[in-house]
Amino acid sequence: MIRLVEVVKQLEQYVLREVFINPTHVVSLREDGPMKNLLSEGQLPEGLNEHQSFTRLVLDKGTVGLELIVVGPPALIESKLK
């Protein structure tokens, strides 16, 4: 299992929380630009670097996929998954 930090919208605000991922279930990774825009608008939790990148991670969940947005660029997330 790999520990990552997920960005989650709860009610009207975004929060960060730990999530543990089984790397064998990851289907794809791609940069999430809209989340970076939210960061520049000040809508994400304080303490994140203004140059932070985010990755949309898709997990295989049987017949449907599960998408998570995690803190970090795709290359860094990929290296953690290996």
Q: What would the pLDDT profile of 13-72 be if each residue is shown by its tens digit?
A: 999 999 999 999 999 999 999 999 999 999 999 889 999 999 999 999 888 889 999 999
Tell me how far apart the alpha carbons of residues 18 and 72 are, in angstroms, rounded to a whole number.
13
Whole-model pTM: value is 0.91
Pure H helices in the chain:
33-40, 74-81
What's the pLDDT score for residue 68?
97
